A and B are shown apart, each in its own frame.
Chain A
């Protein structure tokens, strides 16, 4: 607990990012900072049609233009790929059909940007325009021209999930109270700072080297091998610094493969830096979703059942969609005990930019739906919203009806902290009209138990350490620092265990030639899985050092304790050796020391279809209170303050955890108050950071972070995730605060001022009053 003395030297403190000085001085190297001799510029021709059959693509004029090194179209690399092995439906460039405005039709490598764009203009595409399907509801039934041949029964349904646990109908029959809500959520996108960028080089030794802004170097590695037909060991993937990902750099993306293919075609290095519009069109952001939820409760407020159905707009490709479809259901299973649960989820292809994984993937929209429905339920029960949550909280060491094992949970502590610090009870329904307070809670996986892997028996993460005579410790691991601080955590864990100063530890940039596999930065898995692997590797290296210290001191290793840069006898602190003395002694036997550690999540989950979806070795919990003020005449509102109580187990780097919570609140507020992918039909109207309304710093509330988690039994040093779970609770907290302020429920996100104004007008027109109006 936060109140106990910290038993660690580094972990649990505020540790500035190890690469921070390089980043703030502009010296950190991102992919676009890199160059190679004779570098070519790669550019993409994108489809102007939402859905069309390609009759021919004439590249002859483009190919002969001076300065053009290669022009590529889809038929040369028709192998399908996709992040999930079970839904390979993408090709690097369109083959036969184009499925959204922005689908890649052709690619050019040329001496410079201008020449490349001139070449694109010279490409002639002859296509037969096909019916456009922008509305996922239309695609639920048979359609004239399914977007993919894999659509269910001639429809555009990509994935259908039907699950029933317990007996939902019986639960509703005996329920004292029921609530029914429909939540509609516009698509949102990651809008990371660094645009998508890849550089590739094929060399005469038969090898391909690829530098890319990716969250998952390993999946990129696999996709390159599959599509280009090159064995994995002849491909080298490097991940330079990455300027944010939020899920948008976790799929292997078409431009990465196209860039590598162009390098092969030309024998020269090629760089492809995407424009912001390209990034919007690549998307893979949060799915536009419609959730229909019914909640049943008994007279005391015990939850009896959820009955949930969802229509999820997938866009043109599968991406993570099968996972999304499951998550949008099963992530409803916390933080409360729900004894009966039925879910019907359908993800439908549309002729729009593909949706995919985005921070708190699959858990955000359903969480808003549930938490606002519970606010309605609490009102029906005439119960304080906190009491409703207290009554239904999942206890530690319990199992959900979907067979998720809940080990640690400090959800009750989160509720207590948020309630007390915010003064909730004194404000709820008591603030003047136009001012309100609301509660929203959160639940998220701390690392997916299911690696997207051909051989799931392999560890999800491996860490290699090497200590040499200079006293430095090199750390190799394919974990992807994308700005979230995983390099810093990795270094801190190694330094903590070995007792050395942080600057002795060097996290070597990801390079598939030397970095052992970690499956990347997604599903909030890195702290938990990499942390455990790093701890194991460090403890093994420490054993070598302590053996040497034993040789030098004569005391058995188990009597030695780790101090800063020193190993000393526990009962005789004057007897000891320095880290360097121990290291150099140990090296007499074997030269540089090496150690390896790995993490594999334990067996878990049920046996029903889809049982693995949502299983994780731990879960995070959250209780947020938001206070907001509304201008009822204009509908503009401001979130004044947020009390964010979060259970990430033991926070290992408080600075990073606070940053994640504040950043998550900003991102969640964006989805709530203004961000949306706006379409006219299948056409994205706002592919720019001017018209895609990310909140400005002026719109950011004061945030009080309350870290109240108890140690997780399996997490490294007791830690759980803090990268995604902190996002989900803010949206319903603000939604419920707006209801408290003006008496209007908002189920259509984003809640732009015009919607607030309209809601207030409607309430007035209906003659309804709220808090003294």
Chain B
């Protein structure tokens, strides 16, 4: 496999990058760590003739108490002791991403914007051509759920649910200025594997911001996958609990790796505020969430199993997060 030639642009400021993006409209991809984009390029998936590297944009760097620059390497975050102590659930998710080699290159922004994945999409050009191209690249049909309207590719990032659970926000810069939004709003909740983001063309994720209450949360992240390394999540559950176990102020649950976008389940967790978070309540929430999720067969493990594991993983993750000791050990 080879990479087709492309033109590489290396802006040094966000504004310069946006200007380039404007002039190359529709003909470029932003390049962060490259661990997601370049393998897809090698498979000739949705190639663009221009790459705008964000490597030299200094504003996208840096880790502080309440902000992570989008170009922060996952390995850098993993080694950041204060960050790990402040946001243990996010730190758990970071450690679960791929392998040390990938984390050395992969970035926070890249993981948030990870391309959705599917057995019928993450394949070489000849493979996809042989089967008939799919909706998500070069074609007009879906091989997972036979129809021609909607793509079921799975959102496979680990960081998004962990960040959404502690109510982190993303800062985005675009042609019409800057905006901030909750992490989960970065994604298209209409549930389409192609139109997966709420960003407008050219927009860049600049940083993740943590509101003051984020570091008061006890949080945890659990990941279902066949192997304890390498593999993308087949289910990723993040939980955050504020306040005492006997009387939590707030509980948040977010799930990735299961559907086309990471979801939060506030309607199920809001009623948990104010009363003891008992095993029975945890179980009830886990069962309620499990009834809502709809995985399809486009990853390694069968969807029925992944759905049933949602109950186990929600229960276990929430149990870890509610305990005053367990989740802050990191």
Q: Do A and B come from one complex?
A: yes
- Residues in A lying within 8 Å of B, measured CB to CB: 46, 48-49, 101, 113-114, 117, 275, 277, 633-635, 674, 683, 685-687, 690-691, 693, 695-696, 698-699, 752-754, 757-758
Please, which residue of chain B has its CB at the minimum distance from the CB of A754?
Answer: B305
Contacts of A690 in B (CB 8 A): 230-231
Interface size on B, residues (CB 8 A): 26
A-B contact pairs, 9 of them (CB 8 A): A48-B129, A117-B2, A687-B123, A693-B226, A693-B300, A696-B228, A754-B302, A757-B305, A758-B305
Please, which residue of chain A has its CB at the minimum distance from the CB of B131?
Answer: A683
Please state if B301 and A752 are interface contacts (CB–CB under 8 Å).
yes
Contacts of B124 in A (CB 8 A): 275, 277
Please state if A754 and B301 are interface contacts (CB–CB under 8 Å).
yes
Docked CA distance A216–B226 (Å): 35
Contacts of A757 in B (CB 8 A): 305, 308-309
Contacts of B226 in A (CB 8 A): 674, 693, 752-753
Docked CA distance A695–B230 (Å): 10
Please state if B2 and A695 are interface contacts (CB–CB under 8 Å).
no
Please, which residue of chain A has its CB at the minimum distance from the CB of B5?
Answer: A114
New A-B contacts (10) at CB < 8 Å, excluding given A113-B2, A277-B124, A696-B228? A634-B309, A635-B305, A686-B300, A687-B127, A691-B119, A693-B227, A696-B230, A698-B227, A753-B301, A757-B309
Taking A634-B312, A683-B131, A754-B305 as contacts, is the C-beta distance between A48 and B227 under 8 angstroms?
Answer: no
Contacts of A754 in B (CB 8 A): 301-302, 305
Please state if B231 and A48 are interface contacts (CB–CB under 8 Å).
no
Docked CA distance A271–B233 (Å): 38
Shortest distance from the beta carbon of A313 to any chain B beta carbon, whole Å:
21
Please state if B229 and A696 are interface contacts (CB–CB under 8 Å).
yes
Question: Which of A635, A698, A758 sits near B228, CB closer than 8 Å?
Answer: A698
How does the 8 Å CB contact mask read for B157-193 relative to A, with 1 for contact and 0 for none?
0000000000000000000000000000000000000
Shortest distance from the beta carbon of A10 to any chain B beta carbon, whole Å:
38
Shortest distance from the beta carbon of B180 to any chain A beta carbon, whole Å:
34
Is B1 engaged at the interface, CB distance under 8 Å to the other chain?
Answer: yes
Shortest distance from the beta carbon of A151 to any chain B beta carbon, whole Å:
25
Docked CA distance A698–B302 (Å): 23
Contacts of B229 in A (CB 8 A): 696, 698
Shortest distance from the beta carbon of B237 to any chain A beta carbon, whole Å:
12
Interface residues of B in 77-127 (CB under 8 A from A): 119, 123-124, 126-127
Is B130 engaged at the interface, CB distance under 8 Å to the other chain?
Answer: yes
Shortest distance from the beta carbon of A657 to any chain B beta carbon, whole Å:
28
Question: Which of A117, A633, A693, A752 sits near B312, CB closer than 8 Å?
Answer: A633
Docked CA distance A752–B309 (Å): 14
Shortest distance from the beta carbon of A728 to any chain B beta carbon, whole Å:
23
Contacts of A633 in B (CB 8 A): 312
Taking A114-B2, A634-B309, A752-B301 as contacts, is the C-beta distance between A48 and B130 under 8 angstroms?
Answer: yes
Docked CA distance A690–B119 (Å): 11
Docked CA distance A690–B227 (Å): 10
Contacts of A753 in B (CB 8 A): 226, 301, 305
Contacts of A752 in B (CB 8 A): 226, 301
How does the 8 Å CB contact mask read for B122-140 relative to A, with 1 for contact and 0 for none?
0110110111000000000
- Residues in B lying within 8 Å of A, measured CB to CB: 1-2, 4-5, 119, 123-124, 126-127, 129-131, 224, 226-231, 300-302, 305, 308-309, 312
Please, which residue of chain B has its CB at the minimum distance from the CB of A116?
Answer: B2
Please, which residue of chain A has its CB at the minimum distance from the CB of B98?
Answer: A690
Q: Which applies to chain B's interface (DSSP): helix, strand, loop or mixed?
A: loop
Please state if A695 and B227 are interface contacts (CB–CB under 8 Å).
yes
Contacts of B5 in A (CB 8 A): 114
Please, which residue of chain A has its CB at the minimum distance from the CB of B120?
Answer: A685
Docked CA distance A222–B228 (Å): 45
Contacts of B300 in A (CB 8 A): 686, 691, 693
Docked CA distance A113–B224 (Å): 39
- Identify which of B123, B231, B300 gathers the most chain A CB atoms within 10 Å of its CB: B300
Contacts of A46 in B (CB 8 A): 126
Shortest distance from the beta carbon of B101 to any chain A beta carbon, whole Å:
13
Docked CA distance A49–B2 (Å): 24
Docked CA distance A699–B228 (Å): 8
Please, which residue of chain A has its CB at the minimum distance from the CB of B224?
Answer: A634
Shortest distance from the beta carbon of A590 to any chain B beta carbon, whole Å:
56
Contacts of A683 in B (CB 8 A): 130-131
Please, which residue of chain B has its CB at the minimum distance from the CB of A695?
Answer: B227
Docked CA distance A101–B130 (Å): 8
Contacts of B127 in A (CB 8 A): 277, 687
Please, which residue of chain B has its CB at the minimum distance from the CB of A750?
Answer: B226
Docked CA distance A320–B129 (Å): 31
Please state if B305 and A48 are interface contacts (CB–CB under 8 Å).
no
Docked CA distance A695–B227 (Å): 7
Contacts of A695 in B (CB 8 A): 227
Taking A48-B129, A693-B300, A696-B227 as contacts, is the C-beta distance between A275 and B305 under 8 angstroms?
Answer: no
Please, which residue of chain A has its CB at the minimum distance from the CB of B44?
Answer: A117
Contacts of A113 in B (CB 8 A): 2
Contacts of A48 in B (CB 8 A): 126, 129-130
Shortest distance from the beta carbon of A765 to any chain B beta carbon, whole Å:
13
Contacts of A685 in B (CB 8 A): 119
Contacts of B301 in A (CB 8 A): 752-754
Docked CA distance A45–B37 (Å): 25
Contacts of A49 in B (CB 8 A): 130
Shortest distance from the beta carbon of B45 to any chain A beta carbon, whole Å:
13
Docked CA distance A114–B6 (Å): 13
Docked CA distance A605–B31 (Å): 65
Shortest distance from the beta carbon of A342 to any chain B beta carbon, whole Å:
37
Please state if A699 and B312 are interface contacts (CB–CB under 8 Å).
no
Shortest distance from the beta carbon of A272 to any chain B beta carbon, whole Å:
14
Shortest distance from the beta carbon of B106 to any chain A beta carbon, whole Å:
14
- Identify which of A49, A275, A690 gathers the most chain B CB atoms within 10 Å of its CB: A690
Shortest distance from the beta carbon of A245 to any chain B beta carbon, whole Å:
23
Contacts of A634 in B (CB 8 A): 224, 309, 312
Shortest distance from the beta carbon of B170 to any chain A beta carbon, whole Å:
27
Contacts of B131 in A (CB 8 A): 683
Docked CA distance A693–B309 (Å): 20
Taking A48-B126, A101-B130, A687-B127 as contacts, is the C-beta distance between A275 and B228 under 8 angstroms?
Answer: no
Taking A277-B124, A685-B119 as contacts, is the C-beta distance between A674 and B227 under 8 angstroms?
Answer: yes
Shortest distance from the beta carbon of B118 to any chain A beta carbon, whole Å:
11
Shortest distance from the beta carbon of A310 to any chain B beta carbon, whole Å:
27
Shortest distance from the beta carbon of B318 to any chain A beta carbon, whole Å:
15
Shortest distance from the beta carbon of A104 to any chain B beta carbon, whole Å:
12
Please, which residue of chain B has its CB at the minimum distance from the CB of A681?
Answer: B131
Which 3 residue pairs across A and B have the least CB separation, nearest first?
A48-B130, A754-B305, A696-B229
Please, which residue of chain A has its CB at the minimum distance from the CB of B305?
Answer: A754
Contacts of A696 in B (CB 8 A): 227-230
Contacts of B123 in A (CB 8 A): 687
Contacts of A691 in B (CB 8 A): 119, 300
Question: Which of B1, B119, B302, B308 sits near A275, CB closer than 8 Å?
Answer: B1
Contacts of B4 in A (CB 8 A): 114
Docked CA distance A758–B309 (Å): 11
Docked CA distance A686–B124 (Å): 11
Shortest distance from the beta carbon of A358 to any chain B beta carbon, whole Å:
21
Contacts of B305 in A (CB 8 A): 635, 753-754, 757-758
Docked CA distance A113–B4 (Å): 10
Docked CA distance A693–B234 (Å): 14
Please state if B130 and A699 are interface contacts (CB–CB under 8 Å).
no
Contacts of B2 in A (CB 8 A): 113-114, 117
Shortest distance from the beta carbon of A698 to any chain B beta carbon, whole Å:
5
Contacts of A101 in B (CB 8 A): 130
Contacts of B224 in A (CB 8 A): 634
Shortest distance from the beta carbon of A430 to any chain B beta carbon, whole Å:
28
Please, which residue of chain A has its CB at the minimum distance from the CB of B304?
Answer: A754
Shortest distance from the beta carbon of B301 to any chain A beta carbon, whole Å:
5
Please state if B227 and A699 are interface contacts (CB–CB under 8 Å).
yes
Docked CA distance A699–B227 (Å): 8
- Identify which of A113, A633, A754, A758 gathers the most chain B CB atoms within 10 Å of its CB: A754
Docked CA distance A277–B44 (Å): 14
